Structure 1
C-alpha cells in the first residue's frame, strides 16, 4: 500500500482561466499572505512511512498534526516578519500564510504510534507500520 495525497484545490495550480488571471494580478500587486503548499517528500521502508514537510521559519507551536479516520492532516502557518523601521523590502519571494496538507494512510499503520518532530525547517512525521503476521495453515486435500 502507499500513502495517497488528497486532491485539494491548489492555489498554485489554477483550475480555470479566471483563476489564472486572479493569480497573475494578485501576485503582481503584492498579495503576500495567502495559502501555500509546502514541498512534501514521502518515503517508505520495511517498518515505517515518513513524510517530510519543508517549512522553514515556522515554530513548533504553529503546527497541527492530526490523524482522523485514516487521514493524516498537517497544517500550520508561516508568519511574515513584522515590518521594522528603516527596512524596505524590494522583493519577497518566500511564501507566507496558512497551509494544510492531507494524506490517506493505508490500513496497515499503527495510528497510536505516529510521531512528529521539527528541526532545521523540516517537519518529519514517522508513521510505523503494523508488523505483518504470516498466516499459514495446512489444507487437507479430500
Structure 2
C-alpha cells in the first residue's frame, strides 16, 4: 500500500489534498477544479510578535510572474506561473523531469489582527517573502483605586 495519494504527500500538512475533508488551519481551497493549479509550491508561515511572515520557494520564477493579493480582507493569495521547461532539441531527449511548471496558487486565511493594508513582498534568490504586519496587542491599563473608609 502506498502512502502517497495521486501526487499529494500524506505527510505534508500544507498539501491541499491532505486537508480535502477538513480545514483546521483555515487554508482556503484552490481555484475551481477546471483550472489546473500546482499545489507543490512550498510555503513556510512564521508568526513573530510583530508580523506573519510567509516564505515561498519559487525557483525559476521571476518577480513579474508571481502575484500577492489579499481577498475579502483576510485571505492572503500567492499565485503565479512557473515557466514550462524548454523543449528538447533535435539531438536531445529529456531523461528525467521533476521540476513542475504551470500555474500555482496558495491561499491562507489570516488571523484577526493582521494589517492587510500594509502587506509587503520581496523576491530574492527564488524565495518570495511576504510580510503581513500585526496590530499591536494593547495591554490593559490598570489604575489603582484608593479604598476609603
The alpha-carbon distance between structure 1 residues 52 and 136, as it changes in their structure 2 partners (threshold 3 A), is same
Instruction: Measure, in 1, the Cα distance between the counterparts of 2:57 and 2:26.
Output: 16
Check conservation: 2:30, 2:105, Cα contact below 8 A.
no
Instruction: Measure, in 2, the Cα distance between the counterparts of 1:47 and 1:83.
Output: 46
* Count of residues in correspondence between the two structures: 115
Instruction: Measure, in 1, the Cα distance between the counterparts of 2:28 and 2:131.
Output: 22
Check conservation: 2:28, 2:109, Cα contact below 8 A.
no
Normalising by structure 2, what TM-score? Answer: 0.68
Moved more, 128-137 or 62-71: 128-137
Aligned-pair RMSD on alpha carbons? 2.3
Correspondent of 1:35 among 37, 44, 56: 37
Moved more, 81-90 or 68-77: 81-90
Correspondent of 1:60 among 54, 60, 63: 63
Gaps of 5+ in 2: 1-24
Larger relative contact order (C-alpha < 8 A, sep ≥ 6)?
A: 1
SS in 2 for 1:46: coil
The answer to whether the aligner puts 1:8 opposite 2:29 as a matched pair is: yes
The answer to whether the aligner puts 1:81 opposite 2:88 as a matched pair is: no
Normalising by structure 1, what TM-score? Answer: 0.71
Check conservation: 1:5, 1:104, Cα contact below 8 A.
yes
Instruction: Measure, in 2, the Cα distance between the counterparts of 1:124 and 1:9.
Output: 20
Check conservation: 1:64, 1:75, Cα contact below 8 A.
yes
Gaps of 5+ in 1: 11-33
Q: CA deviation at 1:136?
A: 2.4
The structure that is helix-richer by fraction is: 1
